[in-house]
Amino acid sequence: MTQRFSAHRSPEAEAYRAFYKDKRWRGKHGIRARRLSLEPLCRTCSKRGHITVATVVDHITEHKGDRDLFFAFSNTQSLCAPCHDSEKQSIEARGYDKAIGEDGWPIDEAHPANACGGGIQAQPAEISARQLQGKS
Ligand SMILES: [Zn+2]
């Protein structure tokens, strides 16, 4: 009879639910409301030069049930639902964000393209200017 209440919910999931119901999170002056008023646009979209209204307050470092991480205002960011649902999950699975910035280079420092000391980031024009100076 009571099976459906506990069958597929772990104790961790119950703790998460309690956090999200806590008025420090969802209250009128809770973390969620403060973050969205401070940062009304999606942070991921903004990095790409897109303006999207944020509807989700996400934890930057996964809280995994950790009360301190969950209620740390500085550990939250505003995202739009598509960014939160798809990208955040794939970033966590992949270990980096594959988003490309306006300069055509991956934004995330953890991206493999940023892992080679930045040497290939130099523009061809800069390289030839440096070489010319060196040769004179
Ligand atoms: Zn977004």
* Domain boundary assignment for the chain: 3-95, 102-136
Q: Ligand 1 centre from 100 Cα, in Å?
A: 14
β-bridge partners, 59: 76
The whole-angstrom separation of Cα 45 and Cα 47 is 5
Least confident of 51-60, 92-101, 116-125: 116-125
Q: Ligand 1 centre from 55 Cα, in Å?
A: 9
Residues whose CB falls within 8 Å of the CB of residue 59, separated by 6 or more in sequence, listed in order: 69, 70, 75, 76
pTM: 0.59
Most confident of 11-25, 47-61, 97-111: 47-61
- Which residue has 């950790």 as its token pair? 66
Work out the pLDDT band at 67, boundaries 50, 70, 90: very high
Q: Ligand 1 centre from 35 Cα, in Å?
A: 15
